[in-house]
Amino acid sequence: NNHKSDSRGALIVLEGLDRSGKTSQSSRLLSYLEGLGHSVESWRFPDRNTGVGQMISSYLANESQLDDHTIHLLFSANRWEKRSLMETKLRSGTTLIVDRYSFSGVAFSSAKGLDIEWCKAPEIGLLAPDLVLYLDIPPEKAAERGGYGGERYEQLEFQRKVAHSYQILRDGSWKTVNAWLPFDDVEKQLREMVLDSVTTCQKGKSLSKLWS
Ligand code: Z5A
C-alpha cells in the first residue's frame, strides 16, 4: 500500500544557546514519544564518537587549535558522515530528535565573523528538518544556569553574538519557545508541536533538503 510506504519518522531539531535546555528537553521528548508508542531516537551534533567528532571535541576542549574555516567544515563533515543513516532511520519510521544541527554550525561560525553565505554552503543538500524548535533564552539568563564550563564558546560576550546570528537565521517556519520557564512548562510548549510534526510525517510528508 502506497500510503503506508511513504510514512516516515520526523526530523526534529532543537536549537538554542548553550544552557538553553536542549539536552534536558531532548530526553523529555524522547520519553514522551516512546510513551505514546512511537519509534524515536535522540541524536546530537557534534557527534563526538566519530573520527571527525574526536577532532571537534579536542578543539572545543581547547586541546587543539584550528583555523575558523577548518573547524566550520569539520562540524559540517560530522553531519555529512551521519546523513545516510539519518535518511535510513527516517524512512524506516523512526523519529529523530536532534540536539543542534546546521543552524548551530552557521550561527557559531558567523558569530566569529565568517560570511554567512559561506557558512551555509557546505550544509546544502543535508536533510531539511521537519521542525526546528528554538529554545529562546536571554544570554544573561542562560549564563546563570550552573555557570559555564571550560569549553570554548562558553562566554557571555560570545553567546550574545550567537544569539544575534540565530536571529538572522530564523525564518517563519521555526517554532520559538520561551526557554527560561521551569522544565515542565518548557516541555508543555514543545509536546504539541512535536506530536503535530510526527503525525504529519506519518501521513507521508516528503523529505526535503537544505536550504529550501
Ligand atoms: N557548535 C558549533 O560551533 N558548530 C556546530 O555545527 C555545532 C555545534 C553542531 C558544543 O555543543 C559546542 O559546539 C556548542 C556549539 C558548537 N558550544 N557552545 N556553546 P554541545 O551541544 O556539546 O554543548 P551545548 O549546546 O553547549 O550543550 P549544553 O551545555 O548541554 O546545553 P543545553 O543542552 O542547551 O542545556 P541542558 O544541558 O539541558 O541544561 C543546561 C543547564 O541548565 C543544566 O544545569 C540544567 O539543569 C539547567 N536547565 C535546563 N533547563 C532548565 C530550566 N527550564 N529551568 C532551570 N534550569 C534549567
| Exposure string for 137-152, b = 16+ CB within 10 A, e = fewer | bebeebbeeeeeeeee
Q: What number does the ligand 1 atom closest to the CA of 186 have?
A: 53
At the top level of CATH, which class does the domain 2-202 belong to?
alpha beta
On whether the CB atoms of residues 72 and 114 are closer than 8 A, the answer is: yes
Nearest CA to ligand 1 atom 55: 182
Q: Output the CA 196–ligand 1 centroid distance in Å.
A: 25
Mean pLDDT confidence for 19-39: 98
Q: Please determine, for residue 5, whether its predicted confidence score (pLDDT) is greater than 70.
A: no
Enter the ipTM: 0.96
Q: Please determine, for residue 4, whether its predicted confidence score (pLDDT) is greater than 60.
A: no
Ligand 1 binding pocket includes 122 (Cβ within 6 Å): no
Where residue 151 falls among pLDDT bands split at 50, 70, 90? confident
Q: Please determine, for residue 64, whether its predicted confidence score (pLDDT) is greater than 50.
A: yes
Mean pLDDT confidence for 53-81: 98
